[in-house]
C-alpha cells in the first residue's frame, strides 16, 4: 500500500430537517389543532483512530465526505428521521487542522478514539411546538439548522518512542530489522527506504518500545535535496533519537564526522525542538573495521565530532552490541514515560511500599482503629 502522510478533505455534516405545519383533520373534529412534527437532526461526521491503518492514502482519492440531512417533519405528530452519520477511519497519530488557518483542531492519539469533527444541524420545530392557550392554531414553523462544513488538512505523525536518524545506507533499516520483527526493504543503494517503518522491540515480558525508521537525510535537505525534510515530522513525537553513523563507508574519501555534522545541521534548520531532543550516537558497521583499529578510530571520531553524550558501538548485521543498546534505550524511554505521567496524590494515612501496595500508618489512624488487626503491618 502506498504511504501517504498528508491529505486534504472537505467534510459537511447534514442539515437539520424543516419543521412541518399541519393540522389534525378528523370527522366531527372541527378544531383538531396543530400536529406538525419537528424535523430530524442532520448526520454528524466522526473520526475514529484505527490501529490497523498506517497511511492516509484513502483520503487522497476521496476528498468529499458528506453526511445525510435530517428528514422533514410530517403531520400526525411525526418527527423526521435523523440523517445517517459518516465515520472516517484514520491512522493513530493523525493531526486534524483547519486548512485555511492552520489551527490544530483535533489529534487522534489513542487506538479506538472517536471524535466528532463536524456537528449535524438540529431539526426545525413544527407548528405543534407553538401551540398555546392564546394561539390555538399556529402556522409558524422553523427551518432546520445547517450542518457544519469544514476544509481540513490531515497530517500523520507516527507514534514511536525512538527515532532512527542518519544518512542513506547508514544501516537504519538493517538495525530495525535486527532488533524487531519489522522487515523493511534493505539494499546497497541510497534511499532504499522511501517511507517510515515501525518496529516493536521487546526486551522482556511486557517490556517493549516502538522504533521508527525514516528515509535517510542528506546535506541540503532543507533546500529539497534527496527526499528533503518530508518525513522528519515523524520523529517529532519520539522520546529519543538514535543518530546512526556509517563508520565504514565504501568510499574512503567520505568523512563520517562531516556527514554527522551535516545531519545535525539539517535537524537544527528543520525544527529547534527536534534538535533539542535527547540524541545518542550509534556507530554502526564496526564489523568492517579491523579490531585493532576500532578503539583509536572511535576516540578520534568523538574528539572531532565534539560529542559528550552516550556512544554505542554496534554492528546491525552481526547484531554485535545491539542488546546493550536496546536495554539502555528501554531504560531511558521507561524513565521519560514515568516522568510524563501525572502525579497521583497518596492518602497520608497510608505508606506506599516498594511493591506499590498501601500500608496503613497507625500514627494517622483514630485510636479505636489503631488496635484493629486489619490495619496491622
Q: What is the pLDDT of residue 263?
A: 79
pLDDT of residue 220: 60
pLDDT in tens, 92-146: 888 899 888 888 898 888 888 899 999 999 999 998 888 888 888 888 899 999 9
Pairing of strands 350-352, 358-360: antiparallel
| Chain center to CA of 273 | 18
Q: What are phi and psi of 86, to 5 degrees?
A: -120, 130
In the predicted model, residues of the chain with pLDDT beneath 50 are 1-2, 188-189, 354-355, 358, 360
User: Domain 162-340 belongs to what architecture?
Assistant: 3-Layer(aba) Sandwich (3.40)
Summarised one tens digit per residue, pLDDT across range 242-287 is 888 887 777 677 777 887 888 788 778 777 887 888 888 888 888 7
> The domain at 1-156 falls in which architecture?
Distorted Sandwich (2.70)
User: Average per-residue pLDDT in the chain?
Assistant: 78
pLDDT at 77: 85
What long-range pairs does 311-315 form, CB within 8 A, spacing at least 24?
311/280, 311/281, 311/282, 311/283, 312/280, 312/281, 312/282, 312/283, 313/283, 313/286, 314/175, 314/282, 314/283, 314/284, 314/286, 315/284, 315/285, 315/286, 315/287
Residue 6 φ then ψ, to 5°:
-155, 135
Strands 311-313 and 350-352: unpaired
Domain boundaries, given as residue ranges, for the chain:
1-156, 162-340, 348-377
Is the pTM for the entire model greater than 0.75? Answer: no
Within 10 Å of residue 159's Cβ, how many Cβ atoms? 18
Q: What pLDDT is recorded for position 298? A: 81
Amino acid at each position: 500500500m502506498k504511504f501517504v502522510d498528508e491529505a486534504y478533505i472537505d467534510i459537511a455534516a447534514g442539515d437539520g430537517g424543516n419543521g412541518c405545519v399541519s393540522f389534525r383533520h378528523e370527522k366531527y373534529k372541527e378544531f383538531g389543532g396543530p400536529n406538525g412534527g419537528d424535523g430530524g437532526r442532520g448526520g454528524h461526521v466522526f473520526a475514529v483512530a484505527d490501529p490497523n491503518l498506517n497511511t492516509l492514502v484513502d483520503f487522497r482519492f476521496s476528498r468529499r465526505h458528506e453526511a445525510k440531512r435530517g428528514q422533514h417533519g410530517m403531520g400526525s405528530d411525526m418527527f423526521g428521521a435523523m440523517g445517517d452519520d459518516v465515520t472516517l477511519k484514520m491512522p493513530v497519530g493523525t493531526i486534524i487542522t483547519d486548512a485555511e488557518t492552520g489551527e490544530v483542531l483535533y489529534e487522534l492519539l489513542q487506538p479506538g478514539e472517536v471524535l466528532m469533527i463536524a456537528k449535524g444541524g438540529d431539526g426545525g420545530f413544527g407548528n405543534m411546538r407553538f401551540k398555546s392557550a392564546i394561539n390555538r392554531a399556529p402556522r409558524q414553523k422553523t427551518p432546520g439548522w445547517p450542518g457544519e462544513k469544514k476544509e481540513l488538512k490531515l497530517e500523520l505523525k507516527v507514534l514511536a518512542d525512538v527515532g532512527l536518524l542518519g544518512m542513506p545506507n547508514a544501516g537504519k533499516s538493517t538495525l530495525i530489522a535486527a532488533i524487531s520483527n519489522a522487515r523493511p526493504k534493505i539494499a546497497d543503494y541510497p534511499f532504499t527506504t522511501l517511507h517510515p517503518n515501525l518496529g516493536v522491540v521487546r526486551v522482556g515480558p511486557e517490556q517493549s518500545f516502538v522504533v521508527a525508521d525514516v528515509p535517510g537525510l542528506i546535506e541540503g535537505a532543507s533546500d529539497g535535496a534527496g527526499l528533503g525534510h518530508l518525513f522528519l515530522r515523524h520523529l517529532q513525537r519520539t522520546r529519543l533519537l538514535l543518530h546512526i553513523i556509517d563508520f565504514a563507508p565504501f568510499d574512503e574519501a567520505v568523512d563520517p564526522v562531516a556527514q554527522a555534522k551535516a545531519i545535525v545541521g539539517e535537524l537544527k534548520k528543520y525544527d529547534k525542538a527536534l534538535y533539542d531532543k535527547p540524541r545518542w550516537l550509534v556507530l554502526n558497521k564496526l564489523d568492517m573495521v579491523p579490531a585493532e583499529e576500532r578503539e583509536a578510530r572511535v576516540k578520534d571520531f568523538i574528539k572531532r565530532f565534539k560529542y559528550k553524550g552516550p556512544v554505542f558501538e554496534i554492528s546491525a548485521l552481526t547484531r554485535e552490541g545491539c542488546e546493550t543498546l536496546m536495554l539502555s534505550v528501554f531504560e531511558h524511554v521507561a524513565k521519560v514515560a514515568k516522568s510524563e505521567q501525572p502525579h497521583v496524590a497518596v492518602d497520608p494515612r497510608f505508606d506506599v511500599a516498594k511493591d506499590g501496595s498501601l500500608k496503613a500508618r497507625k500514627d494517622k489512624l483514630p485510636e479505636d482503629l489503631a488496635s484493629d488487626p486489619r490495619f496491622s503491618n
